[in-house]
Amino acid sequence: MDKAKRKAIIAGNWKMNKTPKEATALLNEITPLVKDADCEVIACVPYVDLAAAIEATAGTNVKIGAENCHWAASGAFTGEISTGMLKEIGVEYVVLGHSERRQYFGETDETVNKRTKAALAAGLKPIVCVGELLWERECDITEEVIARQIKLDLWDVSEDELKNVVIAYEPVWAIGTGKTATADQAEEVCAFIRAQLAKLYNQDAADAVTIQYGGSMNDGNADELLSKTNVDGGLIGGASLVAEKFAAIVKAASK
Ligand code: PGA
């Protein structure tokens, strides 16, 4: 199956930026700029911005995602948000296993897997993030790290459920550092991820999965990264907070 048959997806990951009012203002800037996009456009925003973001994007082609979710339906998990809470207000996507969650908040492949399964069961589409640290790349174990993450994060996810999973390859050394992986480096790992999916499922199932690249993707490098066969989209941090830059990346994905 060729790239054209996969859904190109550009998702903004706003991280801990923008108040609800600021979120509305930014989305009001973004929506007219991306209205003719020939790809899926998503903004993943902080929990308290979700309601405002859903309102601001109603009737547009921009979809809204959360930046995490818990695996339990409810209970004594102070500070956590359930999939049911997200679903009820109209959230469609959820970023899971972002390297910042793994690095700063003790996220493990086991908890990423639990969150992924809960999100899928609730009808949310998870954007599951994987990626190697700089020293792992330097020690030449990128493939081992990625293979392990893919296998563990997607453990017990059925082939049918996989249709609703997006994978984001985000080399940790490229996130927020201004250091982008070269297009060839991104392609190499995204192709490796697809090969792992083919091993775990089958080639057809693997060919249908959207694999994004993330890590300092911007309006200047998006064209080249997105031209690669196995790079089907982007998960954009910094550049997603500037409407014109985000729209330029969406345009690059729409070609
Ligand atoms: P960045 O972040 O584009 O600012 O590097 C990407 C991400 O963390 O998803």
Interval 59-100: pLDDT, tens: 999 999 999 999 999 999 999 999 999 999 999 999 999 999
pLDDT at 218 over 80: yes
Q: Using CA of residue 70, residue 6, residue 99, residue 37, what is the dihedral sign? A: negative
pLDDT given for residue 179 in this prediction: 82
The best mutation among 9, 10, 13, 100 to test binding of ligand 1, ranked by most ligand atoms within 8 Å of the C-beta, falls on 13
pLDDT tens, 150-177? Answer: 999 999 999 999 999 999 999 999 998 8
The CATH homologous superfamily for domain 9-253 is Aldolase class I (3.20.20.70)
pTM above 0.75, yes or no: yes
| Domain range list for the chain | 9-253
pLDDT at 1 over 70: no
Q: Which two tokens stand for residue 183?
A: 């297009």
Higher pLDDT, 179 or 19: 19
Is the CB–ligand 1 distance for residue 215 below 6 Å?
yes
Q: Is 146 exposed, middle or buried (0-12, 13-18, 19+ CB in 10 A)?
A: buried
Q: For residue 182, what are the CA distances in angstroms to 130, 178, 186, 227, 253?
A: 17, 12, 6, 12, 17
pLDDT given for residue 255 in this prediction: 83
pLDDT over 70 percentage in the chain: 99
Higher pLDDT, 32 or 2: 32
pLDDT tens, 28-66? Answer: 999 999 999 999 999 999 999 999 999 999 999 999 999
State the average pLDDT over residues 173-201.
Answer: 94
Q: Ligand 1: which atom is nearest the Cα of residue 15? A: 8
Q: Which of 70, 72, 75 is nearest to 47 (CA)?
A: 70
Is the CB–ligand 1 distance for residue 146 below 6 Å?
no
Higher pLDDT, 179 or 24: 24
pLDDT given for residue 207 in this prediction: 96
pLDDT over 90 percentage in the chain: 94
Q: Which two tokens stand for residue 231?
A: 């790079």
Strands (E), 61-219: 62-66, 93-96, 125-130, 166-169, 211-214
* Confidence class for position 178, pLDDT limits 50, 70, 90: confident
pLDDT given for residue 177 in this prediction: 86
Q: Which two tokens stand for residue 31?
A: 């929506």
The best mutation among 175, 212, 225, 245 to test binding of ligand 1, ranked by most ligand atoms within 8 Å of the C-beta, falls on 175
The closest residue, in CA terms, to atom 6 on ligand 1 is: 237
- List the catalytic residues: 98, 170
Q: Ligand 1: which atom is nearest the Cα of residue 214? A: 6
pLDDT given for residue 208 in this prediction: 96
State the average pLDDT over residues 8-24.
Answer: 98
Is the CB–ligand 1 distance for residue 214 below 6 Å?
yes
State the average pLDDT over residues 142-150.
Answer: 98
pLDDT at 26 over 90: yes
